[in-house]
């Protein structure tokens, strides 16, 4: 696993040990950042259920102004911090040891881009999608990674599915505000 492009391009990232973390493949990561390539610079990024933190780190490497990494796994939190140090991106990052759903319900912070990739088929993604719009800016984009055979709700608050992409057994679903054209 590595940073694909930007100021930390080529830096290797570590993954927490064990079966609990399922890193996004480089192909899917590249696809996600192709979708939002013109929307990253200067924007705030939320890496929910962060695991290794690779998605938020990629966003920071590509010019995001800040990134918040949410996870409650000890090994994941250590990996995120080590990866941020290795890439030199710690200053623009905030790593939070938290239950993602509780954070989304209680924070006053707002985000431009949110990436959600919780453990599959646990119901966490659907519950997170329900509360995520309250922390999103109107011009924001919500990106969900999930199994291709798992259908997500057509809308969440004022955010609606704008596009879905299939990559093997993985599906990327992109939500944006119903009043915003494109993504």
Distance CA 52, CA 78 (A): 9
What pLDDT, in 10s, does the model give residues 126-168?
999 999 999 999 999 999 999 999 999 999 999 999 999 998 8
Single pTM value for the model? 0.94
What pLDDT, in 10s, does the model give residues 71-96?
999 999 999 999 999 999 999 999 99
- Domains belonging to the chain, first-starting first, are 26-177 (3.40.50.150)
Who's near 173: CB < 8 A, 6+ residues apart?
143, 144, 146, 152, 161, 163, 164
Distance CA 82, CA 126 (A): 30
């Amino acid at each position: 696993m590595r940073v694909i492009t930007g100021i930390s391009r080529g830096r290797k990232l570590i993954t927490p040990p064990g079966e609990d973390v399922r890193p996004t493949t480089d192909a899917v990561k590249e696809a996600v950042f192709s979708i939002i390539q013109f929307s990253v610079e200067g924007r705030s990024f939320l890496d929910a259920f962060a695991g290794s933190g690779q998605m938020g780190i990629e966003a920071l490497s590509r010019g995001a102004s800040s990134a918040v990494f949410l996870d409650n796994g000890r090994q994941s939190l250590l990996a995120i911090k080590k990866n941020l140090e290795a890439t030199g991106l710690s200053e623009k990052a905030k790593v939070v040891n938290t239950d993602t759903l509780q954070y989304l319900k209680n924070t006053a912070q707002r985000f431009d881009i949110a990436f959600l990739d919780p453990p599959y088929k646990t119901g966490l993604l659907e519950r997170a999608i329900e509360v995520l719009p309250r922390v999103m800016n109107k011009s924001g984009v919500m990106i969900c990674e999930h199994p291709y055979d798992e259908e997500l709700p057509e809308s969440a608050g004022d955010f609606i599915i704008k596009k879905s992409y299939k990559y093997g057994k993985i599906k990327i679903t992109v939500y944006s505000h119903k009043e915003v054209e494109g993504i």
